[in-house]
Amino acid sequence: MARRVLTLGACVLALALPCVNALAAVHQKSAKRKTVTKTVLGSTVKCKKWGPLQVSLKIAQTRTTVGSKTKVTFKILAVDVPVYPDHTVKSVFINKKALPLLQGEVMELQSARIEVVSGATDTTVSFKQSLQAALAAAQA
82: helix, strand or coil: strand
Question: How many Å apart are CA 109 and CA 97, to the nearest integer?
Answer: 19
33: helix, strand or coil: strand
pLDDT bracket for residue 77 (50, 70, 90): very high
Bridge partners (DSSP) listed for residue 38: 59
What contacts 48, CB < 8 A, 6 or more positions away? 122, 126
Checking if the pLDDT of 117 tops 60, the result is yes
Q: For residue 76, give Cα distances in angstroms to 38, 101, 109.
A: 10, 16, 9
Could you give the dihedral angle defined by the CA atoms of residues 100, 104, 107 and 109, in that order, rounded to the nearest 10 degrees? -130
113 or 21, which is more confident?
A: 113
- What is the average per-residue pLDDT within 78-100? 94
7 or 63, which is more confident?
A: 63
**Secondary structure of 23-52 in HEC code, one letter for each residue:** HHHHHHHHEEEEEEEEEEECCCEECCCCCE
pLDDT bracket for residue 60 (50, 70, 90): very high
Residues constituting the chain: 140
pLDDT bracket for residue 27 (50, 70, 90): low
- pLDDT for residue 114: 93
- What is the average per-residue pLDDT within 92-104? 95
**CATH label of the domain that carries residue 23:** 3.90.1010
- Domain count for the chain, please give it: 1
Question: How many Å apart are CA 63 and CA 25, to the nearest integer?
Answer: 19
* Parent domain of 92: 2-139
Predicted structure pTM score: 0.74
**Average model confidence (pLDDT) for the chain?**
86
